Each structure stands twice: as structure tokens, then as C-alpha cells.
Amino acid sequence: MPEAQAFLSVATEIAQLLQRLGVPGAAHTGGELTVRSPVTGEVVAQVRQTTAAEAAAAIGQAHEAFKAWRSVPAPRRGELVRLLGEELRAAKADLGRLVTLEAGKIPSEGAGEVQEMIDICDFAVGLSRQLYGLTLATERAEHRMMETWHPLGVCGVISAFNFPVAVWSWNAALALVCGDSVVWKPSEKTPLTALAVHAIAQRALARFGDAPEGLLGLLLGQRDIGEVLVDDHRVPILSATGSTAMGRQVGPKLAARFARAILELGGNNAAIVTPSADLDLTLRAIAFSAMGTAGQRCTTLRRLFVHDSVYDALVPKLAKVYGNVQVGDPREAGTLVGPLIDRAAFDGMQKALGESREIGATVHGGQRVEGIGTKDAFYVRPALVELKSHDGPVLRETFAPILYVVRYSALDDAIEWHNAVGAGLSSSIFTLNVREAERFLSSAGSDCGIANVNIGPSGAEIGGAFGGEKETGGGREAGSDSWKAYMRRATNTINYSTALPLAQGVTFEI
Ligand code: NAD
């Protein structure tokens, strides 16, 4: 590609970014973990993996750190998160660029991910003065009953490649103000951005001054290193983000040792386009939700139910957008769809498209875009798949830019199909009809953790609780009262009388 010659090699630029972000060279050269950039497919680093013994030691250190950190007043803990937010602001351009080069996101999405980290830090700083408990009515005279929220312990975080840095911050910012220490196992596909975040966090810790050693741990490696976190009884809470397959392995292990699990797993998100929808707005919302991040967001729009009366006005226009959208190197101005993360993602996409053709679907796009980077870079034209019925590969999550479209004529049918998949993460309805909108948001409507009106299913703000139901795992992170998952609740009853009345009128005279 002639345009690509205007850029530094990805490996060179990554090395420069890591140096500026404060990551020592020894951490990403000469190690066992090979890192490829999806932008060109070239090998860009060899990261030193954490051994199982080192992982256990880091958890032990975090456990000791927790014992000190839990007694630091919460607003003071918030000061560390405030400093983290400042350091992230200073590093935003470099870290965002590193996200682009390591995960393949277009620059505005790379920068947006870092902005999300800054936002959650701001949220958590405020929260550090609002970790409130209730005072409850007691049935006994001269008694008081209240709830107290206490720090929980080491919070483990396992994260996926597609939000390589934001997911850590959603957990870490809250866990830190809640008085927990944090040990993070990022995706083996994106260890460089994790190293950079760790270096940024070390600067915040240094400015803070007296945080206990080992408060923030980082474990690099494959799933076996994640398993160390899952199995260690010193980790009472684990937030695990990734595929439903991963959750099926991790969830039962955590349950067996009664650890708390925040599971943020796969999505198979849908939107319903009703007869009254503002079609221009709907088209733009669908384009971003379905093609943004090359279809590799947990909240990516994957299924679209379009009413008969607007199908012909919307779907041909959508097919045109799919045909014209700029697919390419995310460093190029104008690119909206960057690369898939790797060959497995490409193969999974082609398999789903093949199955769709076998059941008589009309497939627009989906082919490989050649000529960008090496043979190990996988660019595809996003696929729009018109299905005859809601069946086949549409029922599962394929982590690639495929949007399945199905016609409907009765809203009841569309809602039934909407809910007829394993995942329950995010959902939308496009309508100007208040009855349809309220129906969709009601207990008889969308069964997802996120349900929107006239907004696509992806691109949530941090102020709300984030997560989904069913095979998405049931966890909630980020805003609202998600912080409660990172603390333990004690109910306290205090008797300030001279009598000893027992609850429920029980008598026990000695
Ligand atoms: P993945 O499941 O392959 O890996 C995710 C992480 O889990 C990695 O760090 C991996 O090493 C670790 N892991 C896998 N198996 C493990 C095990 N048995 N024990 C311990 N750790 C284990 O997922 P991925 O390909 O990186 O990411 C894509 C998937 O993540 C998609 O399904 C997507 O929907 C989902 N996702 C969900 C959310 C959400 O918030 N719900 C957010 C981002 C991504």
C-alpha cells in the first residue's frame, strides 16, 4: 500500500510509545509471549511471561497490601485514583495510539478507550466520599440498626483483547476506592497496553507516596496464569471479562470456593426497527454499532429486526453503506473499519457466513480485503446478511462484523426472537411510538442488562451499571451502585438501653 509508507513501522512506533510511557525494554523484548499487531500482522514484541510462582507471590503481596489499604480512609484512597486520572490524562495520546497499534482500533476509538478510563477515575473519586450504608428501622426500643460497607480483599481482574485497558480501569478505580487491592491478568493478545497502564499506575502510586507495596499487580501470560487468580483462595472477588466459553470454565470454579464473581461475557445484541423509526438516525446508529471496532465489541449490534413496512426503505441503504465504508489500516485518515484481531477471528467469520449461505441467506460483503500489511493481517469488508428466518449462526456470537437482518411484521414476534438467544447483554429499539418504546423497556420486553431507545446497543457511558444477563454472566461494573460488589456488607445492631429485648418477642430468662 503506498499510503502505509508514510508511517513508521508498527514495531518501531510501538517501541517508541512504550519508552515514552515508561515501560522498561526488558519487559517486552526477549520474552516468550509473541505479540503481533493486527494492523500489519508483524511481530512487535516478545513479552516476558509471569510464572505461576511469581503470580502466587504477586497475589500474596496484594493480600498483604490489602490489609494496610483497607484502613486508609476512603477519601484518601480516592486521592490515589485522582492521581491515576491525572496520569492517564497526561498519557492519553500515547496510550490511545498504543491501543490502536496493539488492538487495531481506529484512533478516535483508541483515544475514547483512554477517555473512558479517565471518566471512571473521576466517577470513583466522587464515590470515595459516598460509600454509604443505610440506617434501618429497628423493632426494639433504644436500639439502632445500620449497614456498614467494608473492603473485601484482593480483586482479581481478567480482561479480553477488545477493551485492553478500559476494563481494568472500570474494576481498578472502583476496587481501589472500596479498599481492595487489584491483580490483573490482561489478554495474552494485548500485554503491551497492560504494561503501559501498569507503568502509568506506578507513577500515580509514586506521587501518592505511602500506598502499600503490591497494591496493583500485573500477571502476563496465557489462560493458565489467569487460572492462578481463579483458584487462589486469597482472591475473594474476581471480575472476568471475555467469552461465554471462558465464563463457563471460570464461574463454577469460583462458585466452588464461594468467591464472588463479576462475569462480563459474550453478547449477541439486537435492535428492532419499527414502522415509526427515524430512519436517517437509525441508519447512522446501526452503522456505528455494527461496524465500529470491526464488530469486535461485546456490545456490537449483531441482529437487526426490521418491520416489513420500512425494510425496503432501510436495508438497501444499509447495504450501500456496507459496500462503501472505508476498511483499512486504522492509521489512515478516514478508516472506519480496522483489522480483525487475528486469523481465528477471520476463520470464525467465514464459517458463520458459509453457514448463512447454506440456509439460503443473502450475504453482502464479508470478503477479505487484501494488500494491507503482511499475510497475518486480516481485514474484511463488513457483512450484511439478510436471513429468511431467525435461525442458524445468528443464534450465537461471532466476534466479527456480521449483521444479520430479519423481517418482522408483529412486534411480539420481534421481541420473542430478540430474547431467543443465549446472551443478554445489550439491546435497542428504534421507534417514535411511546407504546412500543415502553413495551420494549418493560418486564415483558428486552431481557438484556442494557436496553436503549433510539441509540444503538454499543458505546455505553460509565455512569450506568454495565453488564448483561443469561450467558453474558450477570455481572455489573462501572457506574450506579456497581461498587457494592467490591465490598462486603455488615448489618450492625447496637443496644443503648439497659434492657435486653430479643427480636420477634422471644423470651429467654436465666
Ligand atoms: P477470551 O475468553 O478468549 O479471553 C478473555 C480472557 O480470559 C483472556 O485474558 C484469557 O487469557 C482469559 N481466559 C480464558 N480462559 C480462561 C480460563 N479458563 N481461566 C482463566 N482465564 C481464562 O475472550 P477474547 O477473545 O479476549 O474476547 C472476546 C470475548 O469477550 C467476546 O465473547 C466478547 O463478547 C467478550 N467481551 C465481553 C465484555 C463484557 O463486558 N461483557 C467486554 C469485552 C469482551
Secondary structure letter of residue 373 according to DSSP: S
Residue 7: pLDDT band with limits 50, 70, 90: confident
Cell numbers found for residue 199: 507503568
Q: Which residues line ligand 1 (CB under 6 A)?
A: 158-163, 185, 187-188, 222-223, 226-227, 230, 241-243, 246, 249-250, 264-267, 298, 397, 399, 425, 472
Cα of 166 from ligand 1 centre, angstroms: 14
> For this structure, is 298 an active site residue?
yes
Q: In ligand 1, which atom is closest to the CA atom of 472?
A: 41
The answer to whether residue 476 scores a pLDDT higher than 80 is: yes
| d(C-alpha 168, C-alpha 37), whole Å | 21
Q: What share of the chain is helix, strand, coil (3-state, %, to 5)?
A: 45, 20, 35
Give the number of residues written for the chain: 510
Question: How far does the centroid of ligand 1 lie from the alpha carbon of residue 64, in Å?
Answer: 28
* Residue 264 a catalytic site member: yes
Q: How far is the CA of 266 from the centre of ligand 1 (A)?
A: 8
Q: Which residues contact 240 (CB under 8 A, 6 or more apart)?
A: 156, 157, 158, 226, 230, 246, 247, 250, 261, 262, 263, 264, 265, 473
Pair 255, 80: CB distance under 8 Å:
no
Closest ligand 1 atom to the C-alpha of 425?
A: 41
**Mean pLDDT computed over 475-502:** 98
The best mutation among 243, 342, 349 to test binding of ligand 1, ranked by most ligand atoms within 8 Å of the C-beta, falls on 243
Summarize the confidence of residues 395-405 as an average pLDDT. 98
Q: Ligand 1 atom 19: the closest Cα is on which residue?
A: 227
pLDDT of residue 184: 98
Give 2's pLDDT tier (boundaries 50, 70, 90).
very low
Angle separating helix axes 279-291 and 308-324, nearest 10 degrees: 50
The predicted-structure confidence for 309-357, as pLDDT tens digits, reads as follows 999 999 999 999 999 999 999 999 999 999 999 999 999 999 999 999 9
Query: What is the 72 CA–ligand 1 centroid distance (Å)?
Result: 33
Asked whether residue 5 carries a pLDDT value surpassing 70, the answer given is no
Element (H, E) at 101: helix 74-103
Please report which helix (H) or strand (E) contains residue 240, including its range. strand 237-241
Cα atoms found within 13 Å of the Cα of residue 313, Cβ hemisphere only: 13
Nearest CA to ligand 1 atom 8: 187
pLDDT tens for each residue of 82-132: 999 999 999 999 999 999 999 999 999 999 999 999 999 999 999 999 999
Write the pLDDT tens digit of every residue in 26-57: 999 999 999 999 999 999 999 999 999 999 99
Q: What are the CA-CA distances from residue 277 to residues 26, 215, 509 (Å)?
A: 55, 50, 71
Mean pLDDT of the residues in the chain: 97
Residue 223 CA, closest ligand 1 atom number: 11
Q: What's the N-to-C CA distance of the chain in angstroms? A: 91
pLDDT in tens, 173-210: 999 999 999 999 999 999 999 999 999 999 999 999 99
Percent of the chain with pLDDT over 90: 98
DSSP 343: H
